[in-house]
Structure 1
Amino acid sequence: MLPVRFVLAVQDSRYIEPLLNYVNGSSYSSSMQVTAFTQQDAFLQYMESREPPALVVGDATMLMAWFQLGDPAVPWLLLNDGAEIPASCPPGGSHTAKYQPLPKLLEAISARCHGNSTLSGGSNGISGGTGLQTGTAAVIGVVSPLSGCGKSTLAMNMAKQFAVLGLRVFYLNLESVNSSVLFPSGCDGMEGSFSRLLYDIKAAQEDGSDNVLQVMPYRLRHQGLKCDTFEPSLHVKEIMEMTRSDTELLLRSLGSTGQYDVIVVDTDGASGVREERLQAVLEHAGALIWVLLDDPISMFKSGTRIDQLLQSGESFSGGLMKRSRFVVNRYTGQLVNRPPRQDIRIDCMLPYIPSWKQLHQQELLLMSPIYQREVLKLCRQLLGGGDFGLSGENRGELYA
């Protein structure tokens, strides 16, 4: 499993080296990955070009230079040397004494990295499902009535960023035509495994033993997404035949393994397809991420779809709108079209990436620092600002 990654930015290398040595020789070596900087330019370049860490720890000089780039999307911890804390520090951080015994310092860093999360509740958090017992896993559905709006790109990047934050993530693609097949997992020998899983789902319901299934033998590790998933299936007819009860059993079985904190569900955006898979996600997801585009057609279709759902007579557990978050994709700096309903508030703007217009390497969709930064902000909104920590192999790095 992945360690918690944090950045240490202190100008004095004599301060950094003992701390790295202590981390590597202590129990923290299995739960923390440290990237350290002593040069301001290298630190700022790293923060702008790499995947955001779970926490930035630094002295006042380094942090203030970073703050000047804009409001940070990453929590920070100021190493206070006794001077007055600058009043211009943005929200989202705290401070601790710079000079203190290393065990206490690492305790403070660890506590900040492993802050209390509201993943399972709270006004700003997401619950682990509504009406469907899924163990401890929170189900997040990424939905849209539009095709080609960037829904799958968002879903995959969300799965990746939740994993970067240290959560145990499963990416579940329920599209009729699975677009994640364009992103090879790097895991061989699982061809046809999802078809076998669908057979098990049908068989379990026919013989009445449909409480939970053993789904772990069918999972694989996706190297690009940094999370678990199923091998994509190209048998469209099999996917189209999935019923609502099939989908509920699959979600329940994944959540009941106890192996995941978050299940990100990528739903079908095409119109006219069987909606039973989508209905299961709409009913049972703790959070629904609606992907909008800033154009009249997108806003109209999204508003009409939501109106239709609310007027369908189906009682959505937890309230459909209460669990919904709205994201504008391909945002160019100004929102021209108003949201289609008065009770819709835009929660996130995902930037337009011009280089994606003509794309020859699809893996670049998972590697844009600007896009990932905004997706990370969205993930933190859903978590209520909390982080999760996992154990794993530690790597200490010092950048001069």
Structure 2
Amino acid sequence: MIKRVILAVSQREYTAKLAEYLREEEAGWEIAAFTHEGALRRELQGDGTVDALIGEREWLERIDANSGKIGKLIALVEDPGQEKENEHWMEIMQYQSLPALLYAIRKAMGMEGPGSSEGCQVWTVFSASGGVGKTTVGLNLVRQATDRGLRVFYLNLEELNATSLLFGKGEPDGLSRLLYALQTRPEQWEVLAAELCRHQSQLRTDYIDAPEHPGERLAMTPELTAELIGKLRDSRRYDLIVIDPDSGASAWHRGLLDTSDKLIWLTIDDAQNLLKAEKLLRYWKEALKEKAYKLKFVMNKGNGGRLVNRWALPGTSPAFVLPYIAQWKTVDQPGRLLASPVFSGAIAELLDFIRSEDGSASLRSRKEEGGGDMRSYTRGAG
């Protein structure tokens, strides 16, 4: 059943962005947006009922809440709970990440939340050595997942990373502040996470700004990393968390295998890279005995599946091969790494492959569940 939802906020940019996001995420909602109170009043004088009116508190104070035409009144405020409680509406924080805001709206409307923490999958994009395109694969994976209606959190945990070229400069101490809160003030986690988790509109994903110095990531223990991921998972705001760590063989890296539902192990058709992967597998042999099902070996920069070097990793060949994009040699803008139809199509197929393999289809798109349209992809790798 279609739900009629009205947004009423005087700030044009805020209203437009929120309306666009709700239309993308909630196929069963009919969204109307107003930035002038007079126009809103004329709309409410017409026929028909409204399931939810979400707007500025000052506007809601002048609305007839007892008319019977409005199901739920939801006030957007900077700091909920500061004013005297009003029996007619609920308050939610206006400025927070879009997925968090949607979660709060759904809760205020009395709708079931986005699911339990068990419904959120954690996928780590990993490699035994650098230079295989982990971040490119991770970001494209995020893009394809959000295109399917999944709510995604991208977590870059590299010691040194350059994602600020795409995301922009934000709060370089964001990760350290969240980790500090985990250890000393866990009761402040929700408020701090809402403040520090940002949203990237092109990818439609939430993320934490990358640390300015490698020491912040190097100080993370396997236990602290697992706790951070667990907090994100338990927030119930995401269907998928994509982790992009640096390469390595430490206990911290192995801990990601324990925390993740799937570990997408990237390789390239290079003798040194394959040998390092083989050695790391032998080193982790005992730890992998009961976790091998989590590993998916994916070859990046492939040549149509024709290997030059001997494949000595599990299986007779890679589980999946991603194409080599020659044009990326001269890319000067990170955003162009998301614009290759051939690579996007291959990543889309990889996403579907992992979701359907080994029962991972439990990671369902909200558009699938709601009967919305899904984009169809055809792989174009040669």
Query: One fold, TM greater than 0.5?
Result: yes
1:328 aligns with 2:305: no
Cα separation, 2, equivalents of 1:294 and 1:160: 25
Determine the structure 2 residue equivalent to 1:192: 173
Q: Is 1:265 aligned with 2:243? A: yes
Given the superposition, is the C-alpha separation of residues 201 and 347 from structure 1 closer, same or farther in structure 2, using an over 3 Å criterion?
A: same
Identity rate, percent: 28
- 2:153 aligns to what? 170
**Inter-CA distance 265–189: structure 2 relative to 1 (3 Å threshold):** closer
Choose from 285, 290, 306 the match for 2:265: 290
Task: Give the distance between the partners of 2:199 and 2:310, measured in 1 at CA.
Answer: 40
Please report how far the alpha carbon of residue 327 of structure 1 lies from its aligned counterpart in structure 2 after TM superposition: 0.8
**Per-residue deviation at 1:381?**
1.1
Q: Are 2:365 and 1:388 aligned?
A: yes
* Aligned residue in 2 for 1:9: none
Q: Residues 2, 320 of structure 1: CA spacing in aligned structure 2 closer, same or farther, 3 A cutoff? A: farther
In the alignment, is the contact (CA less than 8 A) between 1:326 and 1:344 conserved in 2? no
Q: Which residue of 2 aligns with 1:239?
A: 217
SS of the residue corresponding to residue 179 of structure 1 reads coil
The one-letter amino acid of 1:348's match is F
Cα distance in 1 for residues equivalent to 2:216 and 2:172 = 15
Distance change >3 Å, CA 168–CA 298, structure 1 → 2 = same
Shift in alpha-carbon separation, 1:191–1:284, aligned structure 2, 3 A? closer
1:249 aligned partner = 227
Give secondary structure in 2 for the equivalent of 1:176. Answer: coil
How far 1:216 moved relative to its partner? 3.3
Shift of 1:343: 3.5
> Which ranges of structure 2 fall in alignment gaps of 5 or more residues?
1-20, 32-115, 374-382
- Please state if 1:299 is matched with 2:274: yes
TM-superposed CA distance for 1:193, in Å, is 2.1
SS of equivalent residue, structure 1 residue 327: strand
Q: Give yes or no for contact 2:155–2:207 (8 Å, CA) kept in 1.
A: yes
| Distance (whole Å) between structure 2 residues aligned to residue 267 and residue 326 of structure 1 | 16
CA distance in 1, matches of 2:291, 2:236: 26
Deviations 1:269-328 (A, max 9, x none): 1x47xx3432221112111100010121111111111111114xx476xx3321111111
1:292/1:326 contact within 8 Å kept: yes
Aligned pair count reads: 258
Normalized per residue, the structure richer in helix is 2
The match for 1:138 is 121
Aligned-partner Cα distance in 2 for 1:189–1:356: 26
Tell me, in whole angstroms, the C-alpha distance in 2 between the residues paired with 1:295 and 1:344. 17
Contact 1:143 1:267 in 2 (8 A): yes
Residues 127 and 267 of structure 2 are in contact (CA less than 8 Å); yes or no, is this contact kept in structure 1?
yes
Distance 2:22 2:131 in 1: 32
Query: Is 2:198–2:209's contact at 8 Å kept on the other side of the alignment?
Result: yes
After superposition, residues 102-141 of structure 1 pair within 5 angstroms as 134-141=117-124
Query: Is the 2:141–2:351 contact (alpha carbons within 8 Å) kept by the matching residues of 1?
Result: yes
CA distance in 2 between partners of 1:184 and 1:284 (Å): 26
State the secondary structure of the residue aligned to 1:233. coil
Q: Which residue of 1 aligns with 2:130?
A: 147
- Against the structure 1 CA distance between its residues 338 and 194, is the aligned structure 2 distance closer, same or farther, given a 3 Å change threshold? same
**Partner Cα distance (1:28, 1:290) in 2:** 39
For CA contacts below 8 A with separation 6 or more, give which structure has more relative contact order. Answer: 1
Q: Could you tell me which residue of structure 2 aligns to residue 310 of structure 1?
A: 285
**Which residue of 184, 208, 230 corresponds with 1:203?**
184
- 1:29-48 per-residue CA deviation (whole Å, 9 max, x = no partner) reads 56xxxxxxxxxxxxxxxxxx
SS in 2 for 1:357: helix
**1:354 Cα deviation from its structure 2 partner:** 0.7
Structure 2 CA distance for aligned equivalents of residues 225 and 276 of structure 1: 31
CA 1:360/1:367 → structure 2, altered by over 3 Å: closer, same or farther? Answer: same
Task: Quote how far apart the aligned CAs of 1:364 are.
Answer: 0.7
TM-superposed CA distance for 1:181, in Å, is: 2.0
CA distance in 2, matches of 1:315, 1:321: 5
Q: Decide which moves more: 254-263 or 134-143.
A: 134-143
Distance, in Å, in 1 between the alignment partners of 2:162 and 2:119 is 28
Contact 2:23 2:29 in 1 (8 A): no
* Residue 92 (structure 2) aligns with: none
Q: Distance in 1 between matches of 2:28 and 2:315?
A: 49
RMSD between superposed Cα atoms in Å? 3.0
- Cα distance change of structure 1 residues 356 and 341 upon mapping to structure 2, 3 Å threshold: same
- Report if the CA contact (8 A) 1:135-1:257 is conserved: no
